[in-house]
Structure 1
Amino acid sequence: MNPARITLVTLGVEDVARSVAFYEALGWARSKDSFERTAFMLGDGIVLSLWNRDDMIADGGEGDLPSGSGSMALAVNFESPAAVDAFYARAIEAGADPVKPPQKAFWGGHSGNFRDPDGHLWEVAHNPFWRMDGDGRVDLT
């Protein structure tokens, strides 16, 4: 049996339109199946769902949810330190809050962190010990 494949990540957001604009600036495309209070952003092999936070709380049945990502981070890996730097700069220009500018990491790579407009933590990284396939996906086989 194969492990479950993550196909969709949902982020609770305060302002769906603002979040759509932010993620479009980073290269995601809004699906035509989106709605005013829920947008589906198309990535390469994954969908990022931007769901109005109040609606997400009401649907989840667990009461209030903290904003941001808590102890989880989303990550995008790149083929070079220069690509990391360029994407980080693009995110900041689009409205991300800088957390840690890209720099040489203790583990030998190059990485940095930012928070999206709703506080979700993202890491951008180049790992020289990982292979990237021709489509830009991490290949750990």
Structure 2
Amino acid sequence: MCRESQRQRTWRQEEWSPRACAPPPRSTDSDGCARTHKWELVGSRKDRTLHCTQASSVDQAVRDKPQLQASVMASEGAVSPAFAYTVVYVKDVAKSAAFYSAAFGYTVRRLDQSHKWAELESGTTTIAFTPLHQRETDALTGAVQLPDSAGERGPVEICFDYADVDAAYRRAVDSGAVPVSPPEQKSWGQKVGYVRDIDGIIVRMGSHVRA
């Protein structure tokens, strides 16, 4: 019986950082006994053993080359997303910014003198407005296509949460939003109403969803 089978080695994260589906490293004694090691997740109070059913040649290459291992770790961190902006294409940037302030309660944070860009204060993210058609974006990403009739709508809707949906809905309509559906209780536990903004974009106004 192998002496190594009586104990397990601990690999600290700074020495070994496996990819998401990499198995515990294995080695073989001169007597042919396979050793299975485990590693410790730095910051946790207990050692944890990662289990996986399959390893790839890429995983093995990462284990064999520390520099490649560090590169993989850096690239995985570099592609972690953080939602930043919602850009709404509108007919009149200044008018839309003023409308969203009056109808939905936002504060205008920025309005360029060119009237080609405006931003609203909206927490950790930003709601921005830019003209429907402008040479810079049309040439780069294509022209914006609007619905052909009142019975159609774009593929995206904007959603805002309010503590008092009924009051917020009335304010929006009084400020020029077009009523679509008054607030009503939904089966998933949220009260929701719908309006259109001055460009015909659907805005959903809902209560805070309980976890």
TM over 0.5: yes
Residue by residue over 1:78-130, the C-alpha shift from the partner in whole angstroms, topping out at 9 and shown as x without a partner, is 34xxx111111111111111111001223332111111111221111125533
Instruction: Select between 24-33 and 3-12 the one with higher mean Cα deviation.
Output: 24-33
Q: Name the residue aligned to 1:116.
A: 197
Specify the code of the residue in structure 2 equivalent to 1:42.
Answer: E
Q: Which consecutive residues of structure 2, in runs of 5 or more, have no partner in the other structure?
A: 1-76
Alignment of 1:124-135 (within 5 A): 124-127=205-208, 129-130=210-211
1:61 corresponding residue in structure 2 = 141
Letter in 2 for 1:37: K
Q: Which moved more, 1:7-16 or 1:24-33?
A: 24-33
- Give TM-score, length-normalised by structure 2: 0.53
Higher strand share: 1
Rounded to whole Å, the distance in 1 between the matches of 2:202 and 2:161 is: 14
**Offset at residue 33 of structure 1 (A):** 5.7
Q: Does 1:47 align with 2:133?
A: no
Aligned in 2, Cα 1:32/1:112: closer, same or farther, shift over 3 Å? Answer: closer
Tell me what 1:88 maps to: 169
The structure with higher relative contact order (CA 8 Å, sep 6+) is: 1
User: Alignment RMSD, CA only?
Assistant: 2.4
**1:111/1:43 Cα in 2 relative to 1: closer, same or farther (>3 Å)?**
same
Larger radius of gyration: 2
Check the 8 A contact 2:99/2:175 in 1, yes or no.
Answer: yes
Q: Amino acid of the residue matched to residue 124 of structure 2?
A: G
Distance in 1 (CA, whole Å) between partners of 2:143 and 2:155 is 19
The secondary structure found in structure 2 opposite 1:123 is strand
